[in-house]
Structure formats: structure tokens, C-alpha cells
Amino acid sequence: MPLLQFHLVRHAWTKEQVQTILDTAYDVTREAFHAPAGDRYQIVSYHEPEELVMEDTGLGFTRTNKRILLSIRTRPRTQEEKITFYRLLHDQLQQKLELDDHDLMINLVENQDEDWSFTSGKAQFITGEL
């Protein structure tokens, strides 16, 4: 049930590359977070370069227009799961798309099962439907 929202620079990626980003993130989510098949919720938002500001936080690097800001909303995850997710996604995007080492930033926000309603105005985790 992780919800992944990708923020990308407009026109920096082809449709095929965006699909690779989404498919790769889904596969990594299944591996690192043990998400079941079909548990896929992804949003892509495009921004002009000046609208997607991702500075280096004092670490001394620059980013390209191929930068990706990924915001994840998910139930609590262990430190190990988070570290595994960050590393796997970085490594696989770097391998598949030659993503620059500094162009991926991930923010993970935890919530609880009761914070989700998948359909029909019901809290499926609370009602026991899920």
C-alpha cells in the first residue's frame, strides 16, 4: 500500500524512461517492503526546472534536470527496510537509466493502516476487508 509520488522535471524524461522508473520502483517496493503483487499506487507530477528545487543540503554536489524527488507514504517500516529500499532503487535506476549519483532524493512519511480508504468511503484495514 505504499503511495509513491514522483516529481520530475518536465521534458527531461521520455515516456519509456518514466515507465522504467515506475516499474523499477514497484519492483523495489515489493522486494524491500514485501508488498504484495498488485499493491501499486504511483503518481507522476511534472515541474519546470525552476519549480523543482532540490539543493544539496550542504553536502557539496549539484543535480541535473534528470533529478527525481520521490515522496512515499507508507505504514511504518524498519530501518533496514528503508535503507534497503533507498539503496536498491538508487542502484537499479543508475543501472537501467544511467541516473546521476546525486539525482535521486527520497522522503518517506509513515502513517497507519487506519489512514487509508481504498474505495467506497470505507477504512478497509479497520473493517477487516484487507
- Active-site amino acid positions: 2
| Runs of H (alpha helix) within the chain | 15-33, 79-97, 124-127
All three cell numbers of 69, joined, read: 524527488
DSSP conformation class of 75: S
- Between the alpha carbon of residue 10 and those of residues 40, 83, 106, the distances in Å are 23, 29, 19
- Grid cell at residue 20: 522504467
